[in-house]
Amino acid sequence: MRILHLHSSFAAGGKELRAVRLMNLFGPRISHAVVSAQPGAHGAAALLDPGLPVEFPEDFPSLQGRPTPGRLWRIAQAMADFDLVLTYNWGAMDAVMAHGLFGGLLGLPPLVHHEDGFNEDEAMGLRPARNRFRRLALRRASALVVPSQQLEQIALTAWRQPRERVRLITNGIDCSAYLDRPRPDMLPGLVKQPGERWVGTLAGLRPVKNLPRLVRAFAGLPEVWRLVILGEGPERAAIAAAAAAHGVADRVHLPGFVADPSHAVGLFDVFALSSDSEQFPISVVEAMAAALPVAAPAVGDVAQMVSVENRELITPPGDEAALAATLARLAGDDGLRARLGAANRAFARSHYDEAAMLAAYSRTYGEALGQERLI
């Protein structure tokens, strides 16, 4: 069986790492071709099983450009040699449109589309023109997979998708991998010193994550606290500039991308988000599995994701002062951090273990192919 993956980017972000995890678990009897709308953005490939048959075709038609009939026809033709097409986010929507327009004529394989959230261009509100494009493009999709209740409602209302097409599959992880505390020297170039406390986050360094906001919210914490941001992306300079402007450049660290979060997240004492937009961030689940309290704005499903005990510390979206106050409260109360961390770990283990996620994806892909499950 051959599966074609069409990504907005295959850099190492949440949706890409989930796709890699699924590919690895499906095993070597399925081969994969991975295309990124951003040429060369293949960072997640480093986590693929070396024995997995995966190719990155350089001659696949570009997923970017004006959606002219000729360009969409070429994309549709390039799908023909596969058994299943998986598309991801707005950056692959032209391919979904190509499949919708020409799939019947060319006898194309079934397509399952995944929407995991929005970049800064839709973080503050959906674009009506894109809503219309999605409605038209998705009309032949076998399924539309979303990870959050908020996206499920958007799919049913703004995108007017039929109930039977929309599949809510929440993100899951191997919670047991987060039970042990990592060694203090696990991060490249950074060692946690005795007595230090860390506010940490896992995020692509992109504008929608608004990490300068997190720097500002952190800046008032006592000297013993450090801010550690794990990830890569174009906002590195803006984050460093915010740290310098607020006099905390020596306490803000950007060690880069970490391939296995279970080897790093447990070094944090508080997990924080500052995003303008999220849906169901896997980093929050990872933090919960590592028994961390979570300070974050109520974007996407975050307020419902955390344990009941942690929910009062989820702040209004965009309220930087409230986020700063929450960080200060957690920084000053060891007992509160321990209680919320324990509650979050128990909640993650009961709600977000990866076995249910894998079964749901296997069933969704299998049904698209006319069988009970993929594996």
Task: Tell me the pLDDT of the chain averaged across its residues.
Answer: 95
Question: How far apart are alpha carbons 28 and 12 in whole angstroms?
Answer: 22
Closest by CA position to 202, among listed 117, 268, 148, 114 = 268
Indicate whether 35 pLDDT > 90: yes
Q: What is the mean pLDDT of residues 172-186?
A: 92
Question: How far apart are alpha carbons 168 and 366 in whole angstroms?
Answer: 16
Indicate whether 67 pLDDT > 90: yes
- CATH classification code of 2-172+354-368: 3.40.50.2000
Indicate whether 375 pLDDT > 90: no
Please state the domain extents for the chain: 2-172+354-368, 175-351
pTM of the model: 0.78
pLDDT of residue 347: 97
pLDDT tens digits, one per residue of 98-137: 999 999 999 999 999 999 988 767 767 889 999 999 999 9
Closest by CA position to 216, among listed 201, 227, 206 = 227
pLDDT of residue 123: 64
- CATH classification code of 175-351: 3.40.50.2000
For the chain, what percent of residues have pLDDT higher than 70?
99
- For tokens 């069988």, name the residue: 371
Q: Do domains 2-172+354-368 and 175-351 have the same CATH topology?
A: yes
What amino acid occupies position 334? Answer: D
Q: What is the mean pLDDT of residues 283-295?
A: 97
